[in-house]
Copies of this chain bind each other. A is one copy, B any other.
Amino acid sequence: MADRVKVTFQSAEEDGRERQTEALRGASVLDAAHAAGVEIVATCGARGRCRSCRIKVVEGVVPPPTVQDTIQLGHDAVRDGFRLACQTKLTDDCIVMAVPPRSEVGHQILGSERKVGDDAGFVLDSGVVKHVVEAKAPTSEHHQSSDHEEVLEALDAEVSREMPLDVLRKLPVVLREQRGRITVTTFQDRIIDIEAGDTSEQAYGMAFDIGTTSIVATLLDLQTGEELAAVGGMNPQAPYGGDLMSRIAFAQFDLKKLQTLRAKALNALNDFIKQACAEAEVSPDHVYKIVVVGNTCMHHILLGIDVSHVGLAPYAPVVRDALVMPANDLPLKAAPNARICTLPIVAGFVGADTMACVLATRIYESEETRALVDIGTNGEVVMGGRDRLMACSAPAGPAFEGAQIRHGMRGAVGAIERVEIGSDVTCTVIGGQAASGICGSGLLDACAKMIDAGVMDRSGLFRRKDLDALPPAVAKRFVKDAHGMEFVLVWEDQSGKSENVTLTQGDIRQLQLAKSAIYSGVAMLQKVMEVPGEALSELMLCGGFGNYIDVESALKIRLLPELPSDRVAYVGNAAALGAQMALLSETERKRTEELAARMEHVALAARPDFQDVFIEGMKFAGDPPASEPRAEMATAGE
């Protein structure tokens, strides 16, 4: 991919001039505008805390909205393509128009009938409130009182009398340190902390998305929604099982091993809290709310809840309710004053992360039927809209992460991510270096292009018998080693420093199993909900992997059901965004409880028609025009 993108700035005024510029991929629209001499005002200093730099994306693709876009502009506006220039990173050529709030009168110009940035949008109500009061230590021996009562007396707000023991322990010193000037922090109208002096500006929260493979965390300012730090990394439990089932198997009926996994997660969370707070230069003592989402297994393990039976039919969770608890209960020592909130769970394999995606995509208020697909080692599919919502899990396994693929690897430097087949095969490698393997999106692209080129048929069989029909350089790439026939994507280095990067028939089979899981999940929900393809108005891809998928290729290999490619949208890491929304807004967090209660779970494997759909889903889409032999389904290992 090119390192530079073209940005065109249109003027909101009818006689306005267009201005075009080039910018580095990854730069913000605001930076590009300033570099091009286009005046876009950033009143808050480009921190996503005001609406002065609002733009509308007229053409081209920009990344999914951030939580700050949503807070400042409202859900409807971001869906209509409005963004904050300071928050929007350039990823592709695009045309944007600056529409600062002052020009809000000109709705018609924008071609939208919806009010932008309306008040019915996102409400910043994290539930955390800091009250600065002047309380006095008791002074009269006759009128008996206590430090606790003097603080309650000074508080003007409706707050529960109860003070946790850890707050009572700090109270006498705090109350006497700055002559009674104190800051009382409440969450849900209950006192959770007390400090000397005025610390009302410091109220932070963290959103965690704990995936089977990786953990994503952001530190947000609870009062402005500003993202102060984003950290994350591998889930340190990964060595104990790459996918959910093997993770569960490790700890099944062995509480000591459960403790091992739990400790790994707790340590990681503690480290991420420290790291994010250090980066943002804020005190972890000022982190008051932490929203954690993750699949049922990650959720239970973090809480130290036995997952033995999550791994056995009927795969029931121990608890599905949203939970709120003091950090000390986990314990999460890095943020001692925080309250930990988990989102509700739908089923053993449709977890709190899916609820976060539902929240972030607002699929629940759609008048049309939409689908939401989170592709991961365990995929989840949600389908429906305002009237009905159904969810199922799609156990794709780790093939998309490069596991169980001969030359598979994660999407890192050296991984083939795109494949073209013309007179020969050309691969794009991440980082532009020599190829050392192939990642999930590369695998998917390779298969799509191999079908198009006639290298493989729609059942997933190599076309070894029709080699004459292929360009010679391509045909030459079928080689045989001890394990069987392989297709070479990248030849070994002449110096012998690298070996061939190939695809085997077994690799194709792994991909077919993985992609059919996703395909069948969507197809089964369509079947159960009686939603034919043409009635599905949008398919939203989310999760880290979705970002790297070439949609045309995904449709070609039938990872997704037959849909026009413009109805497929990548909506970003919706689980992390949903966690951020629940962090910043109790309205949103409580909404997940209602949503979970009305979510219907479809247990795919328990349905008699699932097997047929799954086998059908193994197939790739249509072969090239060339004559197609009626190939039966290839059997694994061939």
Binding site for B on A (CB under 8 A): 137-142, 144-149, 161-163, 165, 168-169, 171-173, 176, 303-306, 308-309, 313-321, 323, 325, 329-330, 345-348, 601-603, 605-606
Q: Is the CB of B601 within 8 A of A142?
A: yes
**A33 CA to B141 CA, complexed, in Å:** 54
Q: CB-nearest residue of chain B relative to A145?
A: B316
Q: In the complex, how many angstroms separate the beta carbon of A323 from the nearest chain B beta carbon?
A: 8
Contact partner, A314, options B139, B165, B318, Cβ 8 Å: B139
- A-B contact list, 28 entries, CB within 8 Å: A137-B309, A137-B316, A138-B314, A138-B316, A140-B314, A141-B313, A141-B315, A142-B601, A142-B602, A142-B606, A144-B603, A145-B316, A146-B316, A146-B320, A146-B321, A147-B309, A147-B316, A148-B320, A148-B321, A162-B321, A165-B330, A168-B303, A169-B305, A169-B306, A171-B305, A171-B318, A171-B319, A173-B306
**A606 CA to B148 CA, complexed, in Å:** 23
Q: Is the CB of B138 within 8 A of A172?
A: no
Q: Is the CB of A601 within 8 A of B144?
A: yes
Residues of the B chain whose Cβ atoms lie less than 8 Å from the Cβ of A323: 165
Q: In the complex, how many angstroms separate the beta carbon of A260 from the nearest chain B beta carbon?
A: 15
With contacts A176-B309, A305-B169, A318-B147 known, is A603 near B142, CB below 8 A? yes
**A146 CA to B147 CA, complexed, in Å:** 44
Residues of the B chain whose Cβ atoms lie less than 8 Å from the Cβ of A308: 172
Q: In the complex, how many angstroms separate the beta carbon of A313 from the nearest chain B beta carbon?
A: 6
**A603 CA to B145 CA, complexed, in Å:** 12
**A7 CA to B148 CA, complexed, in Å:** 54
Residues of the B chain whose Cβ atoms lie less than 8 Å from the Cβ of A163: 319
Residues of the B chain whose Cβ atoms lie less than 8 Å from the Cβ of A176: 309
Q: CB-nearest residue of chain B relative to A313?
A: B141
Q: Is the CB of B320 within 8 A of A149?
A: yes
Q: In the complex, how many angstroms separate the beta carbon of A249 from the nearest chain B beta carbon?
A: 16
Q: In the complex, how many angstroms separate the beta carbon of A171 from the nearest chain B beta carbon?
A: 5
**A330 CA to B345 CA, complexed, in Å:** 32
Residues of the B chain whose Cβ atoms lie less than 8 Å from the Cβ of A348: 144
The residue in A168, A176, A313, A315 that gathers the most chain B C-beta atoms within 10 A of its C-beta is A168
Q: Is the CB of A318 within 8 A of B603?
A: no
Q: In the complex, how many angstroms separate the beta carbon of A167 from the nearest chain B beta carbon?
A: 10
**A171 CA to B137 CA, complexed, in Å:** 45
Q: CB-nearest residue of chain B relative to A318?
A: B147
Q: Is the CB of A319 within 8 A of B141?
A: no
Q: Is the CB of A346 within 8 A of B144?
A: yes
The residue in A144, A148, A169, A325 that gathers the most chain B C-beta atoms within 10 A of its C-beta is A144
| A-B contact sample (4 more), CB < 8 A, given A144-B320, A147-B318, A148-B318 | A142-B601, A168-B303, A171-B319, A172-B309
Q: CB-nearest residue of chain B relative to A324?
A: B162
Q: In the complex, how many angstroms separate the beta carbon of A294 from the nearest chain B beta carbon?
A: 16
Contact partner, A319, options B168, B601, B603, Cβ 8 Å: B168
**A306 CA to B137 CA, complexed, in Å:** 14
**A145 CA to B142 CA, complexed, in Å:** 57
Q: CB-nearest residue of chain B relative to A176?
A: B309
Q: CB-nearest residue of chain B relative to A601?
A: B144
**A338 CA to B602 CA, complexed, in Å:** 41
Q: CB-nearest residue of chain B relative to A330?
A: B165
Q: Is the CB of B601 within 8 A of A304?
A: no
Q: CB-nearest residue of chain B relative to A328?
A: B329
Q: Is the CB of B144 within 8 A of A347?
A: yes
Q: Is the CB of B306 within 8 A of A165?
A: no
Contact partner, A316, options B144, B161, B319, B603, Cβ 8 Å: B144
With contacts A172-B306, A303-B168 known, is A141 near B314, CB below 8 A? yes
Residues of the B chain whose Cβ atoms lie less than 8 Å from the Cβ of A169: 303-306
Q: CB-nearest residue of chain B relative to A346?
A: B144
Residues of the B chain whose Cβ atoms lie less than 8 Å from the Cβ of A602: 142
Q: In the complex, how many angstroms separate the beta carbon of A322 from the nearest chain B beta carbon?
A: 10
Q: Is the CB of A305 within 8 A of B168?
A: yes
**A332 CA to B348 CA, complexed, in Å:** 35
**A171 CA to B313 CA, complexed, in Å:** 17
**A405 CA to B533 CA, complexed, in Å:** 97
Residues of the B chain whose Cβ atoms lie less than 8 Å from the Cβ of A325: 165
The residue in A139, A165, A304 that gathers the most chain B C-beta atoms within 10 A of its C-beta is A165
**A318 CA to B605 CA, complexed, in Å:** 59
Q: CB-nearest residue of chain B relative to A316?
A: B138
Interchain residue pairs A-B with the least CB separation, the first 4: A138-B316, A141-B314, A141-B603, A148-B319
The residue in A138, A139, A173, A176 that gathers the most chain B C-beta atoms within 10 A of its C-beta is A138
Residues of the B chain whose Cβ atoms lie less than 8 Å from the Cβ of A148: 318-321
